[in-house]
Amino acid sequence: MTTNLIDIQHADVIMATSNMAENHPVGFQWVMKAKERGAKLIHVDPRYTRTSAAADLHVPLRSGTNIAFFGGLMHYAIQKNLYFKDYVVHYTNASFLLDPAF
């Protein structure tokens, strides 16, 4: 995992790309806490697993197509202004990667 799992409980949308419910059951409690608050869980995995069963949306992509999916998702979020711009500008390298005027 590349995140502090405890912080997941504060998320509005969580995208899991592994079988977190079985592979990280202790950390998955924070996903369930977020869902109790109304967060949405999207599970991107070709297989239907326990994580898929808990998800609001299961996206069964073919293996190897996830990069195109995530690229399209990011493009849509940016075009529709569906992201936290202050966070992205101050805490990621997106402004450097996309456009200095971002």
Summarised one tens digit per residue, pLDDT across range 8-52 is 999 999 999 999 999 999 999 999 999 999 999 999 999 999 999
The CATH number of residue 60's host domain is 3.40.228.10
Can you give the residue range of the structural domain that contains 11? 5-98
Across the range 73-101, mean pLDDT stands at: 83
φ, ψ of residue 83 in degrees (nearest 5): -150, 165
Token pair belonging to 82: 């569906």
Which is more confident, 97 or 59?
A: 59
pLDDT of 69 higher than 70: yes
Query: In total, how many domains does the chain have?
Result: 1
Across the range 75-88, mean pLDDT stands at: 89
* 57-59, strands of its sheet edge to edge: 13-16, 40-44, 57-59
Distance CA 59, CA 45 (A): 6
